[in-house]
Amino acid sequence: MEKQSDLGFHAYIRGIILIGFALLMLAFIITGNITYYIAPTMMPFIYFATGVFLLLGVIQIIRSTAKGQEEEELCDCGTDHNVSGSPITKLIIYSIFVAPIIMGFVLPDKLLDSSVAANRGIQFGSGILAEQAPNEASKEEASSRAEAFLNDPDAYYEQLETGSKSNDEEHITVEEYYTEEGFNQYYEELAEEVLTKGSIVVTEENYLDMMTMLDLQLERFIGKPIEIIGFVYREPEFEDDQLVVARFGMTCCVADASVYGTMVTTEEASQFENDTWVRVTGILDQTEYNDFRIPLIQLREIEIVEQPESPYVFPRFSF
């Protein structure tokens, strides 16, 4: 009878723990805070895990009843199902599983911020950093664009907007993207599309694509207007007129999150504290940082904005 009671108690505790994990994930899903920790592509797995944990928890609680234990006592597997170890050992083992549930409900959900960026380091652009020097023709074109912008910025933007076009057609599949030929084709087509539009508008949906495109073909876009939203971040060695507009990119979960940023130079840099969300518009240029060529935005306008509903950015192509 004592052995049966012990088995029932432990089955009941395991059932409560499983249901606790299911309720914790359900709370994250309902509040939307699950996006702080998991990429959207992983949500089907979260739904599946929530359902499985709930089902297994209910099964464990049913097994904890006297009838359930009688069935287990009749098991002819030759194994002792009783839980071994001292009460202290059992308490420590269960505490390992209970603690995350309690902390998940009690602790506030927090976004990754500049303190995390400082620990992980920042990748300028997409991190690919292609070492392609601009040719003389692109230098002359960039110089001409920059001169036109400085002489009459409003007219420069109006001319670009007049000649802009849009094309959202998908050209390659996910499988093709993950080949060298498909990768190059995708960013070549994206570059042509952006050049046709005349200006670079970086959104949540195309953020990582744009960063990669600029790394691969930066010389083609020098002198082009650019608009981007992100949080302010600074490295300790930055000059007073330098800041980075950054976003956290996530493939699977916060464990693989990386910081992707674009350098901005402005005399107003000191007015914006780290983690301030801003919208930046300006002219794209290039500079060197730690001996790498990186994109640089020569500021035209900067304004404080509300934190986006989806503060992280995600790869467009993922399985």
Structure confidence by residue, pLDDT tens digits, 116-174: 888 777 777 655 543 444 444 444 554 455 455 445 545 544 554 454 444 444 455 54
Taking the C-alpha atoms of residue 200 and residue 217, their distance in angstroms, rounded to an integer, is 13
* pLDDT at residue 72 in the model: 52
pLDDT at residue number 140: 53
Q: How many CB atoms lie within 10 A of CB 250?
A: 24
* pLDDT for position 90: 83
Q: How far is residue 291's CA from residue 319's CA, in Å, rounded to a whole number? A: 35
Query: Do 302 and 268 contact (CB within 8 A), yes or no?
Result: yes
CA distance 219 to 30: 45
Return the pLDDT at 278.
Answer: 94
Angle between helices 66-73 and 2-31 (to 10 degrees): 120
Q: What is the DSSP string of 120-137?
A: H-EEETTS--------HH
Q: Residues of the chain whose pLDDT is less than 50?
A: 1-2, 74, 129-139, 142-143, 146, 149-150, 153, 156-157, 160-161, 163-170, 174-175, 177-178, 318-319
SS3 state of residue 119: helix
Q: What is the pTM of this model?
A: 0.67
What pLDDT sits at residue 304? 93
3-state DSSP call for residue 266?
Answer: coil
- What pLDDT is stored for residue 100 in this prediction? 92
Residue 168: predicted pLDDT: 42
- Report pLDDT for 311: 84
Domain range list for the chain: 2-110, 116-304
pLDDT in tens, 62-76: 888 765 555 555 455
pLDDT at 85: 67
Q: Distance of CA 94 to CAs 55, 91, 141, Å?
A: 20, 5, 67
What letter represents residue 23's amino acid? Answer: L
